[in-house]
A and B are shown apart, each in its own frame.
Chain A
Amino acid sequence: MQTMSFILSLAIWLPVAFGVLLLAVGRQENAAVARWVALIGAVIGFLVTIPVMTGFDNTTAAMQFVEKASWIERFNVFYHLGVDGISMWFVPLTAFITIIVVLAGWEVIEDRPHQYYGSFLILSGLTVGVFSALDGLLFYVFFEATLIPMYIIIGVWGGPRRVYAAFKFFLYTLLGSLLMLIALIFLYYKSGGSFDIATWHKLPLGMPAQTLLFFAFFAAFSVKVPMWPVHTWLPDAHVEAPTGGSVVLAAIMLKLGAYGFLRFSMPIAPDASHEYAWLIITLSLVAVIYIGLVAMVQQDMKKLVAYSSIAHMGFVTLGFFIFNELGVAGGIVQMISHGFVSGAMFLSIGVLYDRVHSREIADYGGVVNTMPKFAAFALLFAMANCGLPGTAGFIGEWMVILGAVQFNFWIGALSATALIFGAAYTLWMYKRVYFGEITNDHVRTLEDINAREFLMLAVLAVAVLWMGLYPKPFTDVMHVSVTELLKHVATSKLN
């Protein structure tokens, strides 16, 4: 592994370098060049993550592809990167989604495309940084820095209420993460001057300290996930963001919060995590059930999928805090599959929006008559969103429900209702948009998807089916790390 130890740095800084290049020399006049440069950057960014997948050793819970260099000596901060079974899949997932996003904006973004693509590439690199940072302050820097490009993306290329949504997104997230910053500094003090996350994992902490840390992290990550009741920024951000922004938000940025629970809250404050697991479980169930019902009554397709994302992320947090292997592994699988599925759902809405410029369900109806190829793809993604067996959406939810039943039958039963609600809101939306008679004139003149759209939807369809039919590569990777994490979390830090 020694020879490949720069691979994560490449995965972070290559997209960033392409993004900076686009921002620096891009011009409105040569938009076509910007698109191709962005695509090349995104593809290279993905190619460099392939060794992470192929070279990953499933048999150890240790960090792999580790890089470590002194960064801020004054505070003992290191540029320390590495991935384990928990974080590994998010590195290629991020790079993969970035390619899709570049394709999705190809003919659609006409205003300053170089800045649009530049922001996305920088965002992609920074997000990989969050997933691979093993130093607390480095994590925080990446975690916060991702806000800047996303703020610009929503605000510049978003819908009519983009300014409101961009501010809400930024300030909500900043509030949570500032409290986390205090927690990180507190851990730095407690550990005698170290920002190393692994050191923090082993650090004995009393219950009051653990409780405070747990809630500080909770503030940061619950906003990011987002959990009920701090989810209100998400529907706004999703609705106003351009298609690419929604895809990245749903597919990747929400995972940062869930990942934070696994990397910080649970191992650093295990006793507090057990103590307050009821809180997270309750909020997750509220997200799964109540937000599922809220999704059902939405008139706006993007809002519907946004609420559906919150409900699906409720499964993730539920899985984590029932502390068994099925639950945690199921949660991680759900994170990955939701990355594919929600990304695909938002892309499908984007395809329709680009043609009709409306997201209202009522403005459609009978789309299958004019866009049969597209409707077939959309059906597959809708099924995956409901959690149909054989699609990616099924595996994670099924594992979490099994885990929940092991933990407590009633929690399992309540969470399983999500399958019903999920099917209800997704299929009802599908029916109203795609089936039936054509009632709107603009639907009559719709043209089916072109080669570019076919390509991006097909790639995602393959991913969704592959993960649904053969999830072994995903679960194998995380198995050892999850076992190790649970063993760690089960050990009390109190003496």
Chain B
Amino acid sequence: MNQMNWLVVSPEILLLVAACAIALIDLFLTDPKRRTTFWLTQLTLAAFALMHGSMLSQGLGANGAAASVYGMQGLVVSDPMGHLLALCAGIAMMMTLAYAQPYAGSRDLLKGELFVLAMFALLGIAVMISANNFLVIYVGLELMSLSLYALVALRRDHGVSTEAAMKYFVLGALASGFLLYGMSMMYGATHSLDLPEVFNAIQTGQINAIVLTFGIVFIVAGLAFKLGVVPFHMWVPDVYQGAPTAVTLMIGGAPKLAAFAITIRVLVEGLSGLAHDWQQMLIVLSVLSMALGNLAAIAQTNLKRMLAYSGIAQLGFMLLGLTPTVIGANTLSAANGYSSALFYVISYVLTTLGTFGLIMFLSRAGFESEEVSDLAGLGRRSPWLAGVMTVFMFSLAGVPPMVGFYAKFAILQALVTTADPAYITLAVVAVLLSLIGAFYYLRIVKVMYFDEPTTDAPAPQHGGLGILLAFNGAAALVLGLLPDGLMALCRDVIVAALAG
């Protein structure tokens, strides 16, 4: 516990050094050579992902508690769950930048800052994912958030973007304050910031319950802000709509993995003694999110805004997977629920990458392609793109055989197998609300296939990107046809995380 163990944080060190180096190199590059920065960044991210990938396979080789290794004197933990999430976050960021490159290029956003800030955001995500201490979580969160605030404001002569950045910054700062306040209460009550020690202190049962309850309320509120679930969702639609689509994807993709990670780290690894309290809160948050997200999404005409509300509803559904664990009080049912939520969040990020990637793919200089009506007749203009988008929409709606169905199935399964009537009712409520959600996903398919095109312009061609997009769509379909590998992986990493 008390060793530095530098090896544990080697991917993060690499990322930090490379981000600084690329920031310097970029100073000497002129605009036409900006692609060098892009490729250097991609190389760094690939190395980062690769290192986490190999550590993941090593970690899974070890059994039980041995899979968790602590570093930096117990401030960070290296366990398979963290490596899986970091691997996914790295790949998500690579894909985000790949989708973003032509989009940013045609909008004069292709600056070194875009790449450097993206790398710092990923660094923050990685720190959060492997954090084992309240303050480390906070540092990681701020590193990511500050990078993202700046990224949202990257289009500084654009009114809507600036407004979104302000809103994001103010509300984000408020959320960080909440979280920090909750953490300080926990510290006051338990005299420690280390998650395992907080856990042990609560287990003793000697801690003042009122302080703990207040602390948990603030912590859950802070997490809910970052996840963007109702009633802490107000920033989500505005930021999604206002930010340049490339940055929207940076907010809507990899950070959701980090938000999931800190939720698990804080609530499960640190505060599972208070599970009864936070699970009730999560149930309320999740039902509200599914209801409001799905209903509000119906009324949207802006595609990015619609996807923002859809994201609120989707993350609400994901939170359900974290609720059914006190029942039976054994780690088996907990592992079932958490691994379902993990599968859900990974599949959600996969589809989100594709949908926003497609919006960027369809945009041109001076044309954002962010209205739902901009997709009209896509099935006629570009059958491939429409097909890929259809896969994503049915996946988000939870229709088999797309991956989104298995994500929903896994969560429902975790709820129903508790055999508690309350949870079964919750499952019924969840499916009824997702039925409402199906409506607006179907509407996108309707616009693409049933409506006449409003323009004769053929869809843009970006060569290699189209292939990436097709792969992204194929992944959503193939993971649906053969979901077992990822499901088993999610279960194994969660079992290892709970054991450690």
Contacts and interface: CB of A to CB of B under 8 A. Distances in A.
A and B bound? yes
Contact of A185 (B416, B439, B445): B416
A188 B484 contact: no
B424 interface: yes
Size bracket, chain B contacts = 35 or more
Contacts of A148: 390, 394, 399
Contacts of A137: 409
B431 A181 contact: yes
Interface string B428-441: 10011011001100
Contacts of B428: 179, 182
B483 interface: yes
A141 interface: yes
Chain B interface, >50% SS class: helix
B487 interface: yes
Contacts of B442: 151, 167, 170-171
Given A72-B484, A185-B412, A171 B424 contact: no
B417 A185 contact: yes
A71 B484 contact: yes
B235 interface: no
B484 A182 contact: no
B387 interface: yes
B416 A186 contact: yes
A166 B400 contact: no
Given A145-B400, A182-B431, A185-B416, A162 B450 contact: yes
Nearest to B413: A185
Contact of A174 (B390, B401, B435, B449): B435
A189 B419 contact: yes
Interface in A19-71: 23, 70-71
B61 interface: no
B491 interface: yes
Chain A interface, >50% SS class: helix
B383 A163 contact: no
Contact of A74 (B379, B424, B450, B491): B491
A145 B431 contact: no
B438 A170 contact: yes
Interface in B366-422: 379-380, 383, 387, 390, 394, 399-401, 405-406, 409-410, 412-413, 416-417, 419
Interface in A92-111: none
A112 B380 contact: yes
B417 A155 contact: no
B125 to A, nearest CB: 27
Interface string A406-427: 0000000000000000000000
Given A73-B484, A186-B416, A178 B399 contact: no
Contact of A141 (B405, B424, B482, B487): B405
Contacts of A189: 416-417, 419
B488 A75 contact: no
Contacts of A72: 406, 483-484, 487
B427 interface: yes
6 contacts: A71-B484, A75-B410, A141-B401, A144-B405, A155-B445, A185-B409
Interface of A: 23, 70-75, 112, 115, 137, 140-141, 144-145, 147-148, 151-152, 155-156, 162-163, 166-167, 170-171, 174-175, 178-179, 181-182, 185-186, 188-189
Given A163-B450, A182-B431, 12 more contacts: A72-B487, A115-B383, A137-B409, A148-B390, A152-B449, A162-B450, A163-B446, A175-B432, A178-B432, A182-B412, A186-B416, A188-B417
